[in-house]
Structure 1
């Protein structure tokens, strides 16, 4: 039996980061600010990703109207990427519209539609304040599993074509288990 890869999905946020692996979701919340917040968030992400074969994180939403914290959020993404790089953990970035397309077949799907797709496709029900963050992280992880050849659910061809819109690692991903 071929070992299954450990893929971790991340929806990075300055206040409510969604984290997901096969069959589970979690969140990281903080009210810290500035560099202390960034240090805390990278430290909180690290235990989730340190053994991963692949990390898939949602990329930036350039069209998002609320640009408050834009610099810190971009910094957080870079810090997490650098953590992965230093630990030799391959990572991928999935743009928000591509994530939505993979989940729902529609690149402009609402947060609720993505959350519903996660429940319908994978049987994972995200609840509470971070439900949308966790659902996005789950889709990122599911896309990574599919890219590696371990799809968690059959998705329509239109959805599957979304995988071509991601920045996947250029080096082979080794399954450690």
Structure 2
């Protein structure tokens, strides 16, 4: 792998409803400070998929929020690092099944980061006493439609850069192994 890159990808058809990093300017700045070349992948609806696949295939690292186009990890080269940011709301198992296990099977170096309550915009929009914030398991018991509504549809991620920095440092170390 030549040149170290980090690429953040969103869903090809429409990213409007997908969770996204609310601190988009700060995350790339952190990645650059660590030594990554940052490429933001947010393709338009009419993107040439072949061109976009080649762009992803040239990346050493793909990082994104679960629900925001991580299927594009299929285009990563073997040995690349894949960082999945699991939104707040007990989304770890879903993330592992959807992307973690397949990533390892594809020969990727997989890492997962789980957002805490303070990294979710749900605290601001719904309040701390709302069941989606206070008791995520109750939302899961309500069924997939409620899980998707709150944790993939109504939530953006505000990464705690101090918590997230070690993840990027580990990704850089994994590339050098």
TM range (shorter): 0.3 to 0.5
Higher RCO (CA 8 Å, separation ≥ 6 residues): 1
Of structures 1 and 2, the larger Rg is shown by 2
TM-score, reference length from structure 2? 0.35
* Structure-1-length-normalised TM-score: 0.35
